[in-house]
Amino acid sequence: MPFESAYLSVPERVELMNFRYRNHAAIPVLGATLSDPFIGKIALVSSFGAESVVLLHLVSLIKPDTPVIMIDTEMLFPETLDYQAEVADRLNLTDVRIIRAPSKTVAEVDPDGTLHQSDPDACCALRKTEPLQATLEEFDGWITGRKRYQNGQRKDLDLFEVDTDHRFKINPLAHWRQQDLTTYMENNALPRHPLVAKGYPSIGCAPCTSPVAAGEDPRSGRWRGQDKVECGIHFGADGTVVRG
């Protein structure tokens, strides 16, 4: 960790970074994040979902060797896996890391692959949260694609926020609107996830994602009919799952 931050807690660092970059737009924030020694070792965590290509493209322009972490739950749509390979190749991302839960652990906890039906939170913890948290141990912070327009607790999203007592998150697209993303993808001729055209504006695991009708919230197809709105990889400062 850089000397400047050695004596600062994560909340203190986050407060300082939000002040330091308060007037910066997404691209300068991302550029500074990937070059500022004060910030430390950073990874981008990407689902390679419906809007992921915007942030992936920005990173490819600024620092294409940035570690990009994708969680393969082994329940993803085949289209997502194909899209990941296409985007990584097209954008020349040179350090994409596909992570999975240990097969032994999955066999012990979810031997028949039906845990998502009885306890979706436990399934997400097994296949997403725990593998990601283990992988992020080597990093000082990680970049997410969350935005304020996604509502819930995201409506007050800062550019920087506390993740754990030794790690923080960076949300360079926090202030972007849906139209900003669409315009950026069109202007840069970026490939869209093939399921978007089939009515999937938010894409997760195949068993827990359904098409969205016109006028519905874009995330309404995630865990439809269940009291669940997040996979659990985003936590508040107190360690609780951030819903919304």
pLDDT for 225 equals 74
DSSP 8-state class, residue 216: S
Range of the domain at 82: 3-208
- Which residue type is seen at 139? F
pTM of this structure: 0.87
From first to last of its 244 residues, the chain has per-residue pLDDT tens of 444 555 789 999 899 889 988 888 888 889 888 988 878 899 999 999 999 999 999 999 999 999 999 999 999 999 999 999 999 999 999 999 999 999 999 999 999 999 999 999 999 999 999 999 999 999 999 999 988 876 555 556 889 999 998 899 999 998 888 899 999 999 999 999 999 999 999 999 999 999 998 888 888 888 887 766 666 555 443 444 433 3
- Does residue 215 sit within a domain? no
- Does residue 222 sit within a domain? no
Residues in the chain: 244
Nearest residue to 79 (alpha-carbon basis) of 209, 176, 181: 209
231 tagged catalytic: yes
Q: Total structural domains in the chain?
A: 1
- Does residue 243 sit within a domain? no
* CA within 13 Å, CB half, 139: 21
Those residues whose C-beta lies under 8 Å from the C-beta of residue 13, and which sit 6 or more positions away, are 5, 38, 168
Those residues whose C-beta lies under 8 Å from the C-beta of residue 25, and which sit 6 or more positions away, are none
Q: Tell me the CATH number at 198.
A: 3.40.50.620
Are the C-beta atoms of residues 202 and 221 closer than 8 Å to each other?
Answer: yes
- Of 124, 205, 208, 231, catalytic: 231
